[in-house]
Amino acid sequence: MIKAVRGMKDLLPPETARWHHIETIARAVFRCYGFQEIRLPLLERTELFTRSIGVNTDIVEKEMYTFPDRHGESLTLRPEATASVVRAFIENRLDQGAEVKKYFTMGPMFRYERPQKGRYRQFHQINAEALGGDAPELDAEMILLLLEILERLQIKNLELVFNSLGCSQCRPAYLLELTALFARGLRDLCDDCQRRSAVNPLRVFDCKSKTCQELLHQVPALSDQLCDDCQRHEQRVLELLDRFGVPYRKNPRLVRGLDYYTRTAFEVITTELGAQDAVAGGGRYNGLIRELGGPDHPAIGFAIGEERLAALLSQQQDPIPARPLLFIAVLGRTALDLAFDLVQAVRRQGYVADMDFADRSLKAQMTMANRRGASQVLIVGDKELAARQAPLKNMQSGQQQMVSIEGPSEILAALGSETEGVYGV
């Protein structure tokens, strides 16, 4: 037996119905906020990620799915979407025009992590990116958009965590301060942090080690040392969140694991999945487009983890698989053609209809109809074929009525206005 690659998971029905629901809601909300879909390749040149995410990040150091192609070029399965969106933005000259370009994309991402519960090497994200705007209103809009998706999905008990990571004016001085602190207390840092503290001191904030965290208490927060512009930006974003009644918690330790963030950084976290987990996160990345060879355009984005969202949703609602409204049970080969005609006619009217082609007993077909959750079963055999009439059985009430099988009209009338859907979508 050939098994799936380690860390890769099959997504099966009825779970797929839940995912469909999530994506349908997300698309509807994106549309209201003026976001258009962008679909990008899963494979990119490795350089794109080392330059954007940063060489000294966990992702680039140990988690990328990187391999040489047949010509020896280093390629990487995308570990996140923002770098690819920026690459496409520059390459396709999407920067033309003064308006903010708003894109969303959904799909698989890949990280070569040690597989553990709830974490896979192929996972899925819903991403939103707004490129070409630096107004704090845009930051607030992105957060409102994210929260609206979660709200329309009726996800409960979420917390918005907010921080500002400064800019190229105010962050360097802070990083020097951190570096000096780490040089003094190097022995108190864990091995990982000793190594990365010199090149990427902010990463120490992500460390779970107690001694590393204690050392960090000796420095003031970056958010207390912002330049005037960054302070004004942050204040305005928070003022807008207040204005829209969005509760948030400021967390000066929220740094996000990537190098490219500037100013606004945020996460939406939940405690519903056991440990405290981020369901979504994002931030502003004002220098990234220029860094990757494009124009000096500011931008902001976020990513939602679809696995976590689906897990949260599964605690609240069961997905409803597509249920046939009509199942046609066929007795004998001669009635099969007529039954097939009817099933097609009913489907083409937008109803879910099904039948079986294997010439099984009536009992076996009724069991099948029951298991599929059919609401009506039409029974067609030689006798019915001759009479041009067949019994239609309502599976809930057990009541039976004779309907004409000359065409689908009487069957459709009996199905009535019964609607079927997934979570009512």
CA distance 200 to 53: 12
Q: Which CB atom, from 258 or from 280, has the smaller least distance to Zn ion? A: 258
Among 56, 209, 225, 389, binds Zn ion (CB under 5 A): 209
CA dist 298 and 284 (Å) reads: 8
Residues numbered 177-196 forming contacts with Zn ion, rule: CB under 5 A: 190, 193
Beta strands across the sheet bearing 74-77? 43-45, 74-77, 65-68
Site for Zn ion in 330-389 (CB under 5 A): none
Q: Closer to Zn ion at the Cβ: 13 or 172?
A: 172
Under 8 Å CB-to-CB from 421, ≥6 apart: which residues? 320
Question: Rule CB under 5 A: which of 158-177 touch Zn ion?
Answer: 166-167, 169-170
384: Cα separation from own chain's centroid: 50
Residue number, 161 or 230, with CB nearest to Zn ion? 230
Among positions 212, 309, 352, 366, the unique one binding Zn ion when judged by CB under 5 A = 212
Q: Which is nearer to Zn ion, 169 or 314 (CB)?
A: 169
In eight-state DSSP terms, residue 63 is: I
Residues binding Zn ion: what is the number (CB under 5 A)? 11
Fill in the DSSP letter of residue 116: B
230 sits near Zn ion (criterion: CB under 5 A):
yes
Distance (Å, rounded) from C-alpha 249 to C-alpha 266?
10
Q: How far is the CB of 290 from Zn ion (least distance, A)?
A: 16
Smallest distance from the beta carbon of 252 to Zn ion, in angstroms?
A: 15
Q: Which of 126, 207, 343, 352 lies at the binding interface for Zn ion (CB under 5 A)?
A: 207
**Least separation in angstroms between CB 195 and Zn ion:** 10
> Which amino acid belongs to residue 173?
A
Identify the DSSP state of 205: G
Please tell me the distance from the alpha carbon of residue 16 to that of residue 358, in angstroms, as a whole number.
27
Which DSSP state fits 59?
Answer: I
Is residue 104 within 8 Å of 205, Cβ to Cβ?
A: no
Query: Is 143 a residue that touches Zn ion (CB under 5 A)?
Result: no
Q: Which stretch binds Zn ion (CB under 5 A): 151-159, 212-220, 294-302, 332-340?
A: 212-220
Output 225 or 404, the one with its CB closest to Zn ion: 225
* Residues making contact with Zn ion (CB under 5 A): 166-167, 169-170, 190, 193, 207, 209, 212, 227, 230
